[in-house]
Amino acid sequence: MVIVIMRLIQKIANGKWDELEELDKKFNEIEDKIGYPPKKRYRSLSGAYDNNVIIIEREWQSLSKMEKGLTKGFLDPELAKLEKKLGSIVEWQKTELYVPHPPFPV
């Protein structure tokens, strides 16, 4: 089994950080119920992104567990409602997936 690091990168619209924080509390409640792994949040200080970028990381125990967890999330009506509210907060987003290197011990 290979762990997968999932990194969600979001550009937050100017003046929308307080709204994001309130919405994120609701996301946390639902994601915990669904069984998502804990997330770590980082705000860009320097580098490729400006300081209106947030990076959210989760460590899934396998691709299979990630697929099952995300499928539960996609099918959850409460989570879908929250996702729609992100439209006025998040300007763009992308997702990256990482595995350890080498992915399988020699």
Tell me the pTM: 0.89
Phi then psi for residue 85, to 5 deg, are -70, -20
Closest CA to 29 of 79, 103, 91: 79
Pairing mode, strands 90-98 and 39-43: unpaired
Domain count, the chain: 1
- CATH number at 24 reads 3.30.70.100
Domain that holds residue 64: 4-97
Does residue 56 form part of some domain?
yes
Does residue 106 form part of some domain?
no
Does residue 105 form part of some domain?
no
Give the residue carrying structure tokens 């970028």. 53
CB contact set of 56 (below 8 Å; sequence gap of 6+): 7, 8, 10, 39, 40, 41, 42
On the question of pLDDT at 84 being above 90, the answer is yes
Does residue 19 form part of some domain?
yes
- 23-76 tens-digit pLDDT: 999 999 999 999 999 999 999 999 999 999 999 999 999 999 999 999 999 999
CB contact set of 2 (below 8 Å; sequence gap of 6+): 62, 63, 99, 100, 103, 104
Say which DSSP state 20 is in. Answer: H
